[in-house]
Amino acid sequence: LPSRVLDVSIRNGSDDMIRLHESVGELAQYACLSYCWGNALPLKTTKDTYEDRRRGIAFGTLPNTFQDAVTVTRRLGIKYLWVDAMCIIQDSRDDWEIESSRMATVYKNAHVAIAADIAKDCNAHFLPRRKSEGSKDEEALAKFTESDGSTFTVYGQSSDGWGHPDPLESNLPLRRRAWTLQEELLASRIVHFTQNELYWEC
């Protein structure tokens, strides 16, 4: 694990609280978040908030991008999530220099990177609403029924590279971020969230 991660596991049947976890060399799977900060970050870890973060962070106080990342991490069955704003002490120059120098390793060793491609800043949601039906170029792979009785269909699109434009070549907010190249090259698995679909990159 990185030096610090967010423990997003559900405790006592409640999914409302997460906490900042100090790693002591544990070996465990974790996800990491690739996203755009935007002009202002409403929640981050500082020297003053560090102990509070370790005690617990209410899910509802997280920026929308972070909330979606926690949701994805939990759905994937992963206990830990790394987010730079929360796992690096932002007003400590020493901590920033140490932890930022390890970011390449953080992304390289992550079980999966969550790429919030469509979120222009951390206040934006990136989980897309489900499409009611696929396009003529997509194949229906499976149908699912939710607990409330609603249904949805999972569609697949050929990834052979012939005749299909790369959806990640478009002018998505995350694609304009300087750190993206490093994150994409180093991560072994990335799940990209775009406007209507998600894409796996391995």
Q: Are 72 and 112 part of one and the same domain? A: yes
DSSP per-residue letters across 118-184? T-SSTTS--PPPPPSS--TTEEEEEEEE-TTS-EEEEEEE--SSSS---GGGS--GGGG-TTHHHHH
Q: Are 13 and 94 part of one and the same domain? A: yes
Identify the band that residue 164 occupies on the pLDDT scale cut at 50, 70 and 90. Answer: very low
User: Can you tell me which residue has the tokens 């870890």?
Assistant: 45
pTM: 0.82
Q: Are 34 and 90 part of one and the same domain? A: yes
Note the pLDDT tens digit of each residue in 124-146: 899 866 555 555 455 666 676 66
Q: Are 169 and 105 part of one and the same domain? A: yes
Expressed as residue numbers, the domain containing 135 is 128-164
Quote the distance between the C-alpha of residue 143 and its chain's center: 25
Q: Are 86 and 115 part of one and the same domain? A: yes
Query: Per the structure, how many domains does the chain have?
Result: 2
pLDDT at residue 23 tops 70: yes
Q: Are 14 and 67 part of one and the same domain? A: yes
Q: Are 67 and 37 part of one and the same domain? A: yes
Note the pLDDT tens digit of each residue in 44-103: 999 999 999 999 999 999 999 999 999 999 999 999 999 999 999 999 999 999 998 898
Q: Are 60 and 141 part of one and the same domain? A: no
What's the whole-number mean pLDDT along residues 135-159? 64
